[in-house]
Amino acid sequence: MIIFNYAFALRFFGISEIVSGEFFWFWFPRFVGAMFISIAGISLAISYARTGKKGIHGKYLRRGLSIFLLGMLITLATWAFVPHQAVLFGILHLIGASVIMAPLFLRLGKWNVLLGLALTAAGIYLSGFSLDTPWLLWLGLQPHGFATLDYFPLLPWFGIFLLGMAAGSALYKHGKRNFRIKETKNLLASSMVFLGRNSLAIYLLHIPFLLVLLGALGFPLL
């Protein structure tokens, strides 16, 4: 994510295009986004298995709203600085909405894989259509000429979230890992754990950090 956004910032401000090609600019960010979203689904399934069913609607409503509101802050910031490419429904909007809706699907457990595949397929199909209105943007139906810095609509990406939930239910039954891995304690492993536990903060802070870094290096950003 950080690698892609750094390359994007260099390209966006006309500093340098260090990478070219469809794989990096189209497929790579979607692969990264799919990992981010599916891991969120896995984490939610583990949390549900460990904490039980009591109060889950209120818990996930609060959590989802907090993430969605962070997405709205990004909307306001991008609307102020790059209104022609403002983020209207980015990855935080998607994850926030997915967490809010998750209690409706948690009881399906590993069977969420079927619904997840269906929603993913529906989203891929709908991506070939466009409308004259922006009001279904959140669902996956884009208006004509739509441009944005970040776009993760419910279709197909809520399907990816459900696939993550299904994987979490299958691989972490009762909230405990049911497969063996070799546990290693070293600097690399500790760094990966730190990144995983602070992924939301890293997501929110890495772009301002990149902009400050580029400004400090003397590159014009306006």
- Of the pLDDT bands very low, low, confident and very high (cuts 50, 70, 90), residue 110 is confident
Give 158's contacts (C-beta < 8 A, 6+ positions apart). 94, 97, 98, 101, 119
Tell me, what's the pLDDT at 50?
Answer: 84
Mean pLDDT of 88-117: 94
**Residue closest to 221 by CA, chosen among 55, 8, 15:** 15
Mean pLDDT of 198-217: 86
Q: Give the percent of the chain with pLDDT over 90.
A: 52
Tell me, what's the pLDDT at 156?
Answer: 96
Mean pLDDT of 128-148: 91
Helical pair 56-81 and 91-101, crossing angle rounded to 10 deg: 160
Contact 166, 110 (CB under 8 A): yes
Write out pLDDT tens, residues 20-78.
Answer: 888 999 999 999 999 999 999 999 999 888 886 666 778 899 999 999 999 999 999 99
CA 118 to CA 155: how far, in whole Å?
Answer: 10
- Of the pLDDT bands very low, low, confident and very high (cuts 50, 70, 90), residue 221 is low
Tell me, what's the pLDDT at 16?
Answer: 80
Tell me, what's the pLDDT at 222?
Answer: 59
∠ CA 140-45-177, nearest 5°, is 135
Please, what is the average pLDDT of the chain? 89
Mean pLDDT of 182-206: 84
Overall pTM surpassing 0.75 (yes/no): yes
Tell me, what's the pLDDT at 64?
Answer: 95
Tell me, what's the pLDDT at 61?
Answer: 93
Mean pLDDT of 87-108: 95
Q: Any idea which of 10-24, 65-79, 124-138 has the lowest mean pLDDT? A: 10-24
